[in-house]
Each structure stands twice: as structure tokens, then as C-alpha cells.
Amino acid sequence: MISGKLQLYNLCVQKGTLTPEERYIINDHIVQTIIMLEQLPYPKHLRDVPRLAGAHHEKMDGSGYPRRLYGEDMPLAARIMAIADIFEAITASDRPYKKAKKLSEAIHIMAMMKQDHHIDPELFDLFLRSGVYRRYAEKYLSPEQIDDVDIEQYLS
């Protein structure tokens, strides 16, 4: 049974559903990923794998984790991975703790992340213009998640 003080503490979370301690534990997965990946031997063409995997949770404004890199310090591949990772997480239907978002909702959320300097604006525009979001949706999302998206309102 959870004590009253702990329940009150958990109810005071202002954004999302995680306490700072729970968020730290979840964010630590990327640190553990980097540690594990850095121990592996890679052929020359894959030597950047730990750096790329470790940077895809960074944000363009330097508020990401684990290194708090700014956009210009993030590898291009990591900025691309960040957009793909966010889109997949928002639309995923296999997460018991959240409902999968419709395509229009996912794009709107990501557009706000673009505005807040969390994701690369040029890459997000390319993500929309190329139609890759739509091709992914048609292949992996349920039909009820796929709705119309007016991408023009989200382009720079």
C-alpha cells in the first residue's frame, strides 16, 4: 500500500505521469546503452554506432539527454533517428500505458516539438514533404489511426 505522502508526491507531477526519480530511471537506459555498445568491437564502418545510439535522445536546444548536446553538435543520423523514434513512440499501439495517437495528432505534437527546438526543423519538414510519415502509417498503423494531415500548416 502506498503511503499518503507518497500518493500526494505522485499526484503533484506537473507534466506527464512520471516523478523525477522515475524519469531518471527511464532516461538512464540510454546511458546503459552507450556503456554496452562502447564495449563491443565494430568494423570500421560501424564505429559510430555508440555515438549515434547515444545521441538520439538529445534535443536541438540542448535540453536532451544524456549529454545535453545542441543541434549542431548532434550527428545528422542521430537527428534523423530522433524524429523516427518520436514518431514511432507517439503512434505505437503496443504500449499498455498510453493510447496510440492518430496520424494528425502525432504530426501536430511533433510540430510543437519543432517549434520548441526539440527536433531538427529542416529534417522534420523533409519528413513531411517526402511523405515518409504517410508510407510508415500505411504499413504499420491501424486503419483507424490514419487520418488526413494538412502538412502545409506545419512546414517552415
Domain residue spans of the chain: 4-154
The pLDDT of residue 126: 98
The pLDDT of residue 2: 61
Q: What is the largest CA-CA distance in the chain?
A: 55
Structural contact between residues 98 and 141, judged by C-beta atoms closer than 8 angstroms: no
CATH number given to 4-154: 1.10.3210.10
Asked about 5 being catalytic, the answer comes back as: yes
Burial class (CB in 10 A: 0-12, 13-18, 19+), 150: exposed
| Cell 537527428 found at | 79
- CA–CA distance, 51 with 38 (Å, rounded to integer): 9
Q: What is the mean pLDDT of each run of 10 residues along the chain (156 residues)?
A: 71 77 85 93 95 91 93 94 95 88 97 97 98 97 96 94
| Cell 546511458 found at | 31
CB atoms under 10 Å from CB of 79, counted, come to: 21
The helix or strand, by DSSP H or E, that contains position 149, with its residue range, turns out to be none
The pLDDT of residue 1: 53
Contacts of 49 (CB under 8 A, 6+ apart): 37, 42
Q: Can you read off the three cell numbers belonging to residue 128?
A: 513531411
Q: Which of 5, 15, 99, 139 is catalytic?
A: 5
Structural contact between residues 80 and 25, judged by C-beta atoms closer than 8 angstroms: no
Reduce the DSSP state of residue 72 to 3 states and report it: helix
- CA–CA distance, 102 with 17 (Å, rounded to integer): 21
Is the model's pTM score more than 0.75?
yes
